[in-house]
Amino acid sequence: MDSTAGTAELALLLEVAGTPTPGNVDRERDLPALSFEQFLAGATGARPGFRRAAEGGPFGEAFEEAIRGMAACAGTNTQFGAILLLTPLVRAAGTGALTPDRARKQVETAGVEGAVGFYRAFDHVAVNVPPPPADVPDVRQGSDAIATLRDRELSLSAVLTPAADRGGIATELLTGFDRTFEMAADLGATDAPLSRAVPAVQLRALETAPDPLIVTAHDAETAQWVQQRAATLAPPPGAADIDLPAVRSFARTLVDRGINPGTTADLVAGGLFVALEREEVTLQ
Amino acid sequence: MDSTAGTAELALLLEVAGTPTPGNVDRERDLPALSFEQFLAGATGARPGFRRAAEGGPFGEAFEEAIRGMAACAGTNTQFGAILLLTPLVRAAGTGALTPDRARKQVETAGVEGAVGFYRAFDHVAVNVPPPPADVPDVRQGSDAIATLRDRELSLSAVLTPAADRGGIATELLTGFDRTFEMAADLGATDAPLSRAVPAVQLRALETAPDPLIVTAHDAETAQWVQQRAATLAPPPGAADIDLPAVRSFARTLVDRGINPGTTADLVAGGLFVALEREEVTLQ
């Protein structure tokens, strides 16, 4: 169990160690009020919650524990989305086979208490989320929404459903982790050290779809512009050779404009976990 | 307990994240067959052993568990000395106050089973050690030495004593962690982000004394030469401004000549743990 939790933590560390990952914190680039060191600390803080998930503990409690630990150690929100993506993957891996079906089942069976833990997690950090849909409580209410969740018997799946079509973490959790497992396969097929494979996979992921966090924080046009720029920089599948000056210049542009493709980073962390668990990548 | 173990792991991560740390792996520089990613993995692997120590588990078992986990995750020896230094500090912090006296007591009371765990740890990795003294078994025997340790009732303190005058980790463990706590104070007094404070503290430490691992792997003259070069590059106490091109050039020279001041890196990791536990440093 501890090794599964350790692998989840290592996935967070390897994601932030990969460089350059344009627009995201990496080992060569901090963002304003968000440092590489805080990401290291956030990863160590999430681990007890991951262990809880790996042991088959209640989904909602494990997730909230991971977020609480992350926030306590990092002092801010560093990896909320990645931890939400990793929790069902870790719970699946810790209690049986790590398959998309079993990961999805962890979400389906999380129930109302899964939703309660999910909302409680928002007590610990500020998270950039889209305006709330009419049919579920605003996540920014945090634990103030718990009575409503229980009264209306809203499950984790139910509260994530309004975001299912956004292509973000909710989509992964509800529809079977397609992009996460694709990224794991991409990482496994890329013949390069992980520090170079991670940026290559991130660029290919940015090319594949607009980043939902960019849509939320800016707009669809900005996300599409990033997607188009990434398409000119992403190496073909299996390759990791990138035009380093051009990618670094792209990274500077994104930071200057405050554009952060954070959901893509979350997906890469999820892909790293799957690839590490299946021993499809090595560290040498 | 988990938070003390997490802090120990974070100390390992922050040490390797500080750059440039001449001659050691850091976020900008791998060594041959030793990558930054392996150090991240080694730190995650050590954590269950740290938790055991923080809970007051037997010293020898906790240390061996940390080394076994490090080796399993990193695939090589990344942080043997740092983990040996951290184990008594973590055990002290987890079970009461983190003072030099209480840390030394963890070593004094580790007894014969402490020595057994120490030797067992050498089963898991190859460690660069000086030729063995005549009066204790060669550590490279690993668990083959256990019968002798028990027959002769050799305690952890007894087997470390022949190395007590070398100025390395054994000196710290037996004489009260002077340099570790000095480094914690230096880190706390340095007004700069940790990624810059770590190299400044490392240079001052290299200036203070010859690195024992360099003496072992090369000779006393080489260690003195490193000490003299560090003296020209180390900023005064409290400062973190370094001549970056000169320090990077020094770093390249050390890597080219295969010179690795690994014990100094271990001491910095120990200092980081103490400073983090006492909240004398922040991550922002």
Which ipTM score applies to this complex?
A: 0.95
Q: Do A195 and B284 touch (CB under 8 A)?
A: no
Give the pLDDT confidence score for residue A282 in this predicted structure: 87
Give the pLDDT confidence score for residue A236 in this predicted structure: 95
Q: Do A44 and B69 touch (CB under 8 A)?
A: no
What are the tens digits of pLDDT across the range A57-109? 999 999 999 999 999 999 999 999 999 999 999 999 999 999 999 999 999 99
Give pTM, 2 decimals: 0.97
Confidence of residue B191 (pLDDT cuts 50, 70, 90): confident
Q: Which amino acid is at B83?
A: I
Q: Do B10 and A41 touch (CB under 8 A)?
A: yes
Placement of tokens 């240079």 in the chain: B203
Q: What are the per-10-residue average pLDDT scores of chain A (284 residues)?
A: 93 96 92 94 98 98 98 97 98 98 98 98 91 88 96 97 94 97 96 92 96 95 97 95 95 94 97 96 84
Residue B1 pLDDT > 80? no
Give the pLDDT confidence score for residue A128 in this predicted structure: 85
Within 8 A of B9 by CB-CB distance, chain A residues are 44
3-state secondary structure of B274: helix
Q: Which of A51, A60, A45 is nearest to A12 (CA)?
A: A45
Q: Do B44 and A9 touch (CB under 8 A)?
A: yes
3-state helix/strand/coil string of B200-251: HHHHHHHHHCCCHHHHHHCCHHHHHHHHHHHHHHCCCCCCCCCCHHHHHHHH
Is residue A35 less than 8 Å (CB to CB) from chain B?
yes
Is residue B6 less than 8 Å (CB to CB) from chain A?
yes
What are the tens digits of pLDDT across the range A3-16? 999 999 999 999 99
Give the A:B interface size as CB pairs under 8 Å. Answer: 88
Cβ-contact B201, B186 below 8 angstroms: yes
A132 preceded by a cis bond (ω within 30 of 0): no
Out of B3, B45, B195, name the one closest to residue A37 (CB): B195
What are the tens digits of pLDDT across the range B20-41? 999 999 999 999 889 999 999 9
What distance in Å separates the CA atoms of residue B75 and residue B96, rounded to the nearest whole number? 34
Phi/psi of residue B54, each to 5°? -65, -30
In sequence order, what E strands does A164-227 have?
none
- Report the gap between the CA of B159 and the closest CA in chain A (Å): 31
Out of A44, A193, A284, name the one closest to residue B9 (CB): A44
Within 8 A of B283 by CB-CB distance, chain A residues are 35, 37-38, 41, 74-75
Minimal-distance CA residue of chain A relative to B13: A40
The whole-number average pLDDT for the span B164-176 is 95
B 162-191 residues with CB < 8 A to A: none
Minimal-distance CA residue of chain B relative to A2: B48
